[in-house]
Structure 1
Amino acid sequence: MPLMTGKQALAEMLIAEGVEYIFGNPGTSETPFLDGLQDYPQLKYMQALQEGTAVGMADGYARATGRPAFANIHIAGGLANGISGLYNAFRGGTPLVLTAGNSDTRMLMEEPTLSGDLVQMTSQYTKWSAEIHHASELPMAIRRAFKEAKTPPTGPVFLSFPWDTMDESADMDIIPSAEGYHRTRPDAAALERASALLSGADNPIIVLGDRVAQSGASAELVQVAERLGARVYATSYSEVNFPTSHPLWGGLLNTSNPATRQQFAGADVVLAVGANVFSSFLYVGDRFLEPTTKLIHLDNASWEVEKIYPTEVGILADPKAGLAELAQALEQDMSASSKEAAATRTATWGDQKTKTAEAQRQRAQAKWDNKPMPVERMMHELAQAVPPNTIVADESITSRGAVMGAFDFDEPGSMFSIRGGALGWGMPGSLGVKLANPDRPVLAIVGDGASLYTVQALWTAARFNIPVVYAICNNRAYRVLKVNMDIYLRTMLKDSDRKSEYVGMDFENTLDLAALAGAMGVAGEKIDDPAAIKEAVERAFASGKPALLDISIDGSV
């Protein structure tokens, strides 16, 4: 075993793990590691100006590559800035290895400035959190961290590197984590029971979540849905879990709205795949599923199976492998009349989807030329202007319905969005997506309020010439808070008279995002006229540089 310092062992292990980028915001506690990096130019340090930006970039990169990303931020104070991004990674299952320097272990009893229990700070939002005590532990710790991050259900891990562990020397074995074989197959008895229930169902519904995309199971889910003629809804859709142009696609469920219960009315069997059933933000007293509805849940996250709702059949398996076997079982078990009924359901759902889309189009057309422009017009113009093969990175918040209506997301890897709910993913996350896809255009659609949580990402985009085109939905407010205030008053309190003043929710001082972009080295342009969007988008992508379009839209509720 070669003798090397801790900082050398860390760099060598990252290279062995296939790491290309280190997403970081540097601090003094990382001095030894940063010193060592100049001897390893193959490890590219992507400098961020704030810790949340570094974690957001790493999150986007990990999701777009499907491999663990590595981020390094700064001791207790800086780590606190990055925890919102860590929370998103944990809730969404991003394979992320987050690290931070800490004080010299010989000082910890003295409670040094900026230090703290970093493991305790991060443990509730990680799969594994630990601190290195000796340099000799580094190879094992890094190997375990990458293994944990990429083992389904995937998620973030955290390691703390005290100063002295970077300079200590020890004999090191540089061996990366194993590739991992995670296609766990379903239990045969569970599969048989699930197929029997679904084969005899008169009104089956499928509910999916992001672990479908994480396992690469979109095609298998389409096959099962078509076999059953089942309407497909999503509890989360931060990646392409199911093609949105498909006639069986029913859209996103609003799990904070009691009216969502109507979408499950009459369902005799519900198949949930890779989904949290049903996590919500606001309290909803009524359950979405009727007492007679039978729930089947196929997932690789055992914690989520039967967590809230009684479950008839829980199947612990990789979604891709489990759906493939379920499709085969259904082909054998479904009678000719059942297959004919499934085809009829598919046609019926398709007709309903077409009529719904036309009704939405007519509602949008009635306000098409309003000033400020309606968000539907903004998204239509963007969808018509982007180059072929564009990836959308979405943190449009209350504009998301318009995004989903204007764009078809049919190809896995063509869309990524915020998950977890902590605002600030879109600005840096889109940079990570672009680094993972250097040959594809990337359009980031971000709300004006959300953009300011990590607006420093514009500096990083300019510094490294990461050519993301940002389209800012500037409605001059935290509109989502207004929407939720109305839900609180009208739905929760049943108060139809009180008129909210929306305290603290409007941006009374104008936010000039285009000027702010220019100050950070990114070309910015303000747009009020929807007719100007197409040429602006084409100019931005043709420049080969990052650009920001600050688009004024109607923010009324």
Structure 2
Amino acid sequence: MSEVMTGKQALLEMLKAEGVEFIFGNPGTSEGPIIDLLGDYPEFRYILTLQESVAVGMGESYARATGKASFVSLHVDSGLANGIALMLDALNTGTPMVVTSANYDVRKITEGKTDLAELVRPVTKWAVELSHAEQIPSAIRRAFNEANSHPKGPVYVGFTANALEGSAEMNIIPSRQVYDATPPNPAGITEAASLLMKASRPIMMVGDRVSDDGAMEQAVELAELLGLPVYQSRGAEVSFPTTHGQFLGILSLRAADHRAILQRADLVLAVGMGAFEELFYWGDVILKPETKLIHIDPIPGGVGKSEPTDVGIVAHCGLALAALTATIKPKLSASDKTEIANRVKAVVRESQESREAFDQSVVAKWDNKPMTPARMMSELAAALPENAIVVDDSVSNRAVLRHYFQATKRGDIRGYRGQSIGGGIGATMGTQCANPDRPVFGIIGDGSAMMTVQGLWTAANDNIPCIFVICNNGMYRILKVNFNTYQKDVLELPETSGGRLLYSDFGTPFDMAAIANSMGVHGERIVSPEEIRPAVERAVASGKPALLDMVIDGSL
């Protein structure tokens, strides 16, 4: 039934109808009408941030944790612009978010008024600015529909003062679920199954959309059926159990030995990912001419986009993997099963040997001061509660973190995904908001943490009881690592200078614990491995936000 109401009331009524619980925001004068009315809506929890990237970071991780679009409220053009970097990451990685801000009176056009929708159109699926109150319900309904539909991503709705303060007769009707789990084409499944059965050195690569589609079980079933070694691409979500004997870790083209893995394979099954997305240019074709590529992804236009593809299937990851298993299973002969059993043994042995080699490689420096990242991660992993969620924004220490922290299901580890740094503090708090009954630990590089350090105040102000663990190596280590890779492997120079890269060291060190304490978050500075477990136990027992500032070695 329609009802006469103001635009600002219609906005909040629509958010209530959409089931929104949290508003992650940084308000300004133009958003005053919305903020003023929130007192009449106690069902919303407004999380006040002091910098827009914190709000967007919280919204991004909250959306991934809950599986539905989050709501972020920013300020006019200046605040909106501050959120663009993380909005771009959300667009590129498919995170559903509804982002809004308010503009001034539409009659101020002669003085100059920013076109807010145009400002963010390159980083959103859909962007619109409203000038009439009666536009709000349908625009918000479409915004949530767009954000939650494949390809998922951020959308933007702007409101002029006229739209917020105007009145009209309106219908408050929320968006409904769109059933967009696309089944695979049978011909593609048949061809893919034939190639998989012929391959002698196949590998599987899984990306985040395997996890997003809830397809981990189907990925495991097919991997076990064929004895496939499994690698994760851009491991922000858990797409394959890291404890599984056939899991061989994250595959990164920046590592020469990882590129060699692709060169040895005669078939690559890439599922739920962009094929071989990478920072550096490794050639227009990554695989050898004789290597077959089967690419499965739910995103139209993503399959075959960058790498020559033998079989491309646009489909829900789970439905496609299940169809492959159902097609292949009855066709396996006794000799096939023997070959697969031998392959499984070889893959499991390789996985075990890889882990043992890593463990052996860190022994010599195990007791060094400052402690190595490996020692820090080992002690931290042993100290965390069993039900803890780990948010990974460890940047250059990600490979070490993933060695010591294991995950069996989606959400056990949630990496910040995208090309920006600075998302970790917000992502940690957003994950905690979505999982109030589990302890959340954000493991964050010091450079990334300083990008949005204001977020610590938000954790204290709203008593978000997450625990921030800072990898304090006193540098932008990722820049040094990447520059070494660029010089050695891209430019093929005989010597590298990443370790001496200018303007990547923090000559004046950060005392992150002191910064945390100044913002109302309990902070401890940790320099010895023996201090880690007691500090973790104190932080968890407090039931309040805490920061553990771990001083570690950053040498390359």
Structure 1-normalised TM-score?
0.97
> How far apart, CA to CA, are the structure 1 residues paired with 2:496 and 2:449?
31
Query: How much has 1:497 moved relative to structure 2?
Result: 4.1
Alignment match, 1:448: 446
Q: Contact (CA 8 Å) 1:472, 1:551: kept in 2 or not?
A: yes
- In the TM superposition, what are the counterparts of 1:291-306 in structure 2 within 5 Å? 291-306=289-304
Deviates more, 1:383-392 or 1:276-285: 276-285
Indicate the residue corresponding to 1:335 in structure 2: 333
Query: Is 2:44 the partner of 1:55?
Result: no
Look up the match of 2:429: 431
Mapped partners of 2:322, 2:180: distance in 1? 15
Partner AA of 2:338 in structure 1? E
Residue 85 of structure 1: CA displacement?
Answer: 1.4
Give me the CA root mean square deviation.
1.3
Residue 317 of structure 2 corresponds to which residue in structure 1? 319
Quote the residue 1:550 is aligned against. 549
Structure 1 unaligned regions, length at least 5: none
What is the deviation of 1:245? 1.4
Corresponding position of 1:249? 247
- Work out the CA distance in 1 between the residues paired with 2:178 and 2:406: 33
Q: Distance in 1 between matches of 2:109 and 2:269?
A: 51
CA contact (8 A) 2:202 2:266 kept: yes
- Runs of 4+ aligned residues of structure 1 deviating over 6 Å after TM superposition are none
Contact 2:76 2:102 in 1 (8 A): yes
Shift of 1:51: 0.7
Partner of 2:411: 413
**Structure 2 residue aligned with 1:92:** 93
Partner of 2:20: 19
The Cα of 1:345 is off from its aligned counterpart by 1.0
Q: Quick one: which amino acid aligns to residue 551 of structure 2?
A: S
Aligned to 1:478: 476
Question: Structure 1 stretch 132-141 or stretch 446-455: which is displaced more?
Answer: 132-141
Provide the C-alpha distance between the structure 2 equivalents of 1:123 and 1:342, rounded to a whole number of angstroms: 49
1:77 equivalent in structure 2: 78
TM-score using structure 2 length = 0.97
Identity %: 46
Post-superposition CA distance 1:121-147 (Å, at most 9, x none):
211111111111211111111111111
Displacement of 1:267: 2.0
Find the residue that maps to 2:293 and give its secondary structure: strand
Per the TM alignment, residue 261 of structure 1 is displaced from its structure 2 partner at its CA by 2.8
Q: Distance in 2 between matches of 1:533 and 1:130?
A: 49
Closer/same/farther in 2, CA of residues 65 and 498 from structure 1, 3 Å limit: closer
Deviates more, 1:461-470 or 1:282-291: 282-291
* Aligned-partner SS, 2:128: strand
What amino acid is the match of 1:407?
A: F
The separation in 1 between residues aligned to 2:283 and 2:198, in whole angstroms, is: 31
Question: For 1:133-168, what per-residue CA distance to the aligned partner results, in whole angstroms no more than 9, with x for missing partners?
Answer: 211111111111111111122111111111110011
Aligned residue number for residue 518 of structure 2: 519
**Residues 254, 485 of structure 2: 8 Å contact kept:** no
- C-alpha distance in 1, partners of 2:192/2:538? 53
Distance 1:498 1:259 in 2: 18
Mapped to 1, the partners of 2:383 and 2:160 lie a distance apart of 50
- State the SS of the aligned residue for 1:177: coil
Which residue of 1 is the match for residue 199 of structure 2? 201
Q: Give how far 1:272 is off.
A: 1.0
What displacement does 1:183 show?
Answer: 2.1
Kindly indicate whether the alpha-carbon contact (under 8 Å) linking 1:258 and 1:284 is maintained by their aligned counterparts in 2. no
- Work out which of the residue numbers 347, 350, 365 in structure 2 matches 1:349: 347
Superposition pairs of residues 14-413 of structure 1, within 5 angstroms: 14-112=15-113, 116-257=114-255, 259-285=257-283, 287-413=285-411
Query: 1:221 Cα shift?
Result: 0.5
Q: Would you say the 8 A contact 1:389–1:441 is kept in 2?
A: yes
Q: Which moved more, 1:285-294 or 1:139-148?
A: 285-294
Amino acid at match of 2:519: M
CA contact (8 A) 2:280 2:486 kept: no
CA distance in 2, matches of 1:99, 1:540: 35
- 1:261–1:289 contact (8 Å) kept in structure 2: no
* 1:257 positional shift: 4.5
